Amino acid sequence: MALTGLGRYEDAILSFSVSVALDHDMGAVRHEMTHALHRFLAGAPAGYRARCNSLGVLAPYSLHGRRPRFLAASYPALNCSDCEDSFSGEEDFLQVPQKFSSTSLGGPAAPVVPQESTRLRSLVERIFQEVEKIKRMDVKLEDLVVNPDLVEQSDFDCVLCCRTLWQPVTTPCGHTYCWMCLDRCLDYSFACPLCMTSLADYLSSSQKAVTEVIEHSLRLLLPAEYLARQVTHHQELSELVQLWGGQVPVFVCTTGFPGVPCPLYVYEPRYRVMMRHCAEAGTREFGIVACLTKDPGNKSYAEFGTMLEIRDWILLDSGCSILTTVGVRRFHVLTRGERDGYDTAKVEYFRDQPIPADKLPDLKYLHERVRPKAWQWFNSLEAELQSEIVRAFGQMPELEEDWPSLADGPVWTWWLLAFLPLSQELKVEILATTSLEKRLRAIDKTLDRIQAAAVIKQGQDVAVATRPEELTSNSRHQANQTQQTGESLYEQERQSQHTATSSHQLPHPIFNASFLGDNREQVMESS
Amino acid sequence: MTALPRRIIKETQRLMQEPVPGISAVPDDSNARYFHVIVTGPEDSPFEGGLFKLELFLPEDYPMSAPKVRFITKIYHPNIDRLGRICLDILKDKWSPALQIRTVLLSIQALLSAPNPDDPLANDVAELWKVNEAEAIRNAKEWTRRYAMDN
- Structure confidence by residue, pLDDT tens digits, A229-259: 888 888 877 777 666 656 889 999 889 999 9
* CA–CA separation, A395 and A376 (whole Å): 14
Tell me the residues of B at the A interface, defined by beta carbons under 8 Å apart.
Answer: 1-2, 5-7, 9-11, 59-61, 63-65, 96-98
Residues A169 and A297 in one domain: no
Q: Is residue A206 part of a domain?
A: yes
Q: In the predicted model, what is the mean pLDDT of chain B?
A: 90
What type of residue sits at position B75?
A: I
Question: Does the pLDDT value for residue A428 go beyond 60?
Answer: yes
Contact B11 A338 (CB under 8 A): no
Which of A70-74, A112-116, A506-510, B127-131 has the largest mean confidence? B127-131
Residues A186 and A267 in one domain: no
Q: In the predicted model, what is the mean pLDDT of chain A?
A: 72
Number of domains in chain B: 1
pLDDT tens readout for residues B87-98: 999 998 889 999
What H or E segment, with its residue span, contains residue A321?
strand A321-339
Residues A87 and A116 in one domain: yes
Last residue of a domain, one of A198, A221, A244: A221
Q: What is the CATH number of the domain that holds A215?
A: 3.30.40.10
**Chain B residues in contact with A193 (beta carbon < 8 A):** 96-98
Q: Is residue B70 part of a domain?
A: yes
pLDDT tens readout for residues A125-175: 888 888 777 776 655 555 556 677 777 788 888 989 888 898 899 988 889
* CA–CA separation, A399 and A183 (whole Å): 44
* CA–CA separation, A242 and B141 (whole Å): 56
> Per mean pLDDT, which range of A237-246, A375-384, B107-116 is the poorest?
A237-246
* CA–CA separation, A268 and A184 (whole Å): 12
Last residue of a domain, one of A143, A178, A197: A143
Task: Give the residue with greater pLDDT, B95 vs A516.
Answer: B95
B59: nearest CA in chain A?
A: A341
Contact A185 B65 (CB under 8 A): no
Residues A190 and A100 in one domain: no
Nearest by CB to B97, from A185, A243, A337: name it.
Answer: A185
For CA atoms A36, A40, A43, A46, give the dihedral sign.
negative
What H or E segment, with its residue span, contains residue A306?
strand A301-315
Q: Is residue A226 part of a domain?
A: no
Number of domains in chain A: 4
Q: Is residue A472 part of a domain?
A: yes
Residues A386 and A510 in one domain: yes
- Spatial CA neighbour of A413 closest among A429, A430, A426, A401: A430
Contact B63 A196 (CB under 8 A): no
* CA–CA separation, A94 and B76 (whole Å): 74
B66: nearest CA in chain A?
A: A188
Q: Is residue B121 part of a domain?
A: yes
Residues A445 and A299 in one domain: no
DSSP secondary structure, A247-259, as one string: EEEEEEES---BT
Q: What is the pLDDT of residue A433?
A: 92
Residues A424 and A466 in one domain: yes
Q: Is residue B19 part of a domain?
A: yes
At residue A468, the 3 state secondary structure works out as helix
Which structural domain range is residue A160 located in? 152-221
Instruction: Enter the ipTM.
Output: 0.82
* Residues of B annotated as catalytic (active site), given as ranges: 87
At residue A41's C-alpha, the angle toward residues A38 and A46, to 5°, is 120
Q: Is residue B1 part of a domain?
A: no
Contact B63 A160 (CB under 8 A): yes
Mutation target among B12, B96, B99, B100 for the A interface, most CBs of A within 10 A: B96
* Backbone torsion region of residue A282, taken as left when φ is above 0, otherwise alpha when ψ lies between -120 and 50, otherwise beta: left
Residues A132 and A210 in one domain: no
pLDDT above 90: percentage of residues in chain A = 21
- Beta-sheet pairing, B34-40 with B23-27: antiparallel
Residues A408 and A430 in one domain: yes
**Chain B residues in contact with A340 (beta carbon < 8 A):** 60-61, 64
Which structural domain range is residue B73 located in? 6-147
- Chain A, chain B: beta-carbon pairs less than 8 Å apart: 48
At residue A221, the 3 state secondary structure works out as helix
The counts of H helices and E strands in chain B are 4, 4
Q: What is the CATH number of the domain that holds B94?
A: 3.10.110.10
**Chain A residues in contact with B9 (beta carbon < 8 A):** 162
CA atoms within 13 A on the CB side of A352: 23
Residues A513 and A371 in one domain: yes
Residues A211 and A272 in one domain: no
Residues A389 and A503 in one domain: yes
